[in-house]
Amino acid sequence: MIKIVTRFGEIEYDPTKTVHFPEGLIGFEHLRDFIVMPNEKEGPLFWIQSIDDPQIAFVLTDPTNFFLEYRVKPDQRECQKLGIQSQDDCFCLSVVTVPTDRKITLNLAAPILFSPSTNRALQVILENSSHSARTPLPQ
């Protein structure tokens, strides 16, 4: 186990169980490795903490918790980057913005494709879609 100090305090993690973003996230291309943090409370939200920068942590969720129809599949090139054979070996996550008024939004315009078998993830931009980078939860 390795310990790092983050803005949430000291975190201990297993270096064999981190998620690797071979291209980083959009705008954070230099940060490649993250620890998956289960939330203290049960629920659909969890977060990932950058190993390299203690200030950087993103809240994520499975968007199908809120948007049943939302599906994003990796193309061949993305499968290659994720190290998977089939596009079904991957599922989709969304970055969650948590403002102080707690009216959270999901970034459905730039989902994260995650492959549990290889522990790799990519953030992709859906350029030709109507999804918003700031989609509020359905009422």
Residues that bind other proteins (CB under 8 A): 8, 23, 25-28, 39-45, 47, 55-59, 65, 77, 95-100, 102, 104, 107, 109-110, 123, 125, 127, 133-134
Torsion angles phi and psi, residue 98, rounded to 5: -115, 90
Q: Is the Cβ of residue 16 or residue 138 nearer to other proteins in the bound state?
A: 138
CA 67, CA 129: separation in Å to the nearest integer?
A: 15
Report the alpha-carbon distance of residue 34 to residue 28 in Å, rounded. 12
Q: Which residues pair with 121 in a beta bridge?
A: 114
* 9 touches 24 (CB < 8 A): no
Give min distance, CB of 102 to other proteins, in A: 6
Provide the H-helix boundaries in the chain: 76-82
Q: How far is the CB of 51 from other proteins (least distance, A)?
A: 15
For other proteins, the closer CB: 107 or 115: 107
78 or 89: CB nearest other proteins: 78
Q: Given the complex with other proteins, which of 90 and 109 has the nearer CB atom?
A: 109
